[in-house]
Amino acid sequence: MSGKHYKGHEVSCCIKYFIFGFNIIFWLLGVAFLGIGLWAWSEKGVLSNISSITDLGGFDPVWLFLVVGGVMFILGFAGCIGALRENTFLLKFFSVFLGIIFFLELTAGILAFVFKDWIKDQLNFFINNNIRAYRDDIDLQNLIDFTQEYWECCGAFGADDWNLNIYFNCTDLNPSREKCGVPFSCCTKDPAEDVINTQCGYDVRAKTDSEQKTFIYVKGCVPQFEKWLQDNLTVVAGIFIGIALLQIFGICLSQNLVSDIEAVRATLTH
């Protein structure tokens, strides 16, 4: 039997341990992402009150860690154990799952290109919806502040979008000290200041448009994101193409390993 084994097909050790090594790293990263997400929910008391998951009106950034971590965990586990134990079911599951992700990414990219105006409207709706929930969740608040500081923007299409938030709107019935203001992340930065002035946006929208430009960013985050995307199109396209090639490479390697395993098993049974 051993003679037939060596004369026939053999499982490639290079492919086997390359898939195993790559996926064990992928699996550990998935565990880390899931751990961070669960820790964040634990700190916010979500794990002790599961029903509070639906209470937040905006987007909870923790979901990003949990979903990405879950996908990485499942893929990494299937690829790692499938390669190590030469389990064709897990390897096929790995390649099919990876193929579905690749197809979804490709579909999303095509739809985003074809329906650019619709995507722009959805992005506007998404940002405005999260502006309403700005004070409801610390993680969401940090995400919005980071976005506005990084792209030097304020609101979806301008500072007046902050009228959607109950703390920042300019209505006469608003008792908040932040009335007619914006978050500090909308404020233009003074390089000479070492300490962030978190009250820099107070009452700023009560000023004229020309005065506002001195204190805050007046451009919206949607047009600023579009500008950033155009300026960095080559880099963004390169990253997406690189990820796509890695996925195709992973699918081909796993299928190659499955073929080798099945060929060896067929040889041993005859």
Q: What is the pLDDT of residues 223-265, one digit of tens each?
A: 999 999 899 989 988 999 999 999 999 999 999 999 888 888 8
**Contact at 8 Å (CB) between 123 and 222?**
yes
What is the average pLDDT across 203-211?
91
The predicted pLDDT at position 9 comes to 62
Whether 69 shows a pLDDT value over 60: the answer reads: yes
Percentage of residues in the chain with pLDDT exceeding 90? 57
Would the CA dihedral through 15, 9, 254, 107 be positive or negative? positive
Say what the pLDDT of residue 56 is: 61
- Cα–Cα dist 119/225, whole Å: 12
DSSP string, 143-160: HHHHHHHHTT--SSSSGG
Please give the DSSP secondary-structure letter assigned to residue 192.
T
**Sequence-ordered list of residues with C-beta below 8 angstroms from that of 89, at least 6 positions apart, any chain:** 82
Q: Which residue has the tokens 């067929």?
A: 266
Longest CA span, the chain: 90
What's the CA gap between 181 and 201, in Å, rounded?
A: 5
State how far the Cα of 183 lies from the Cα of 202, in Å rounded to an integer. 8
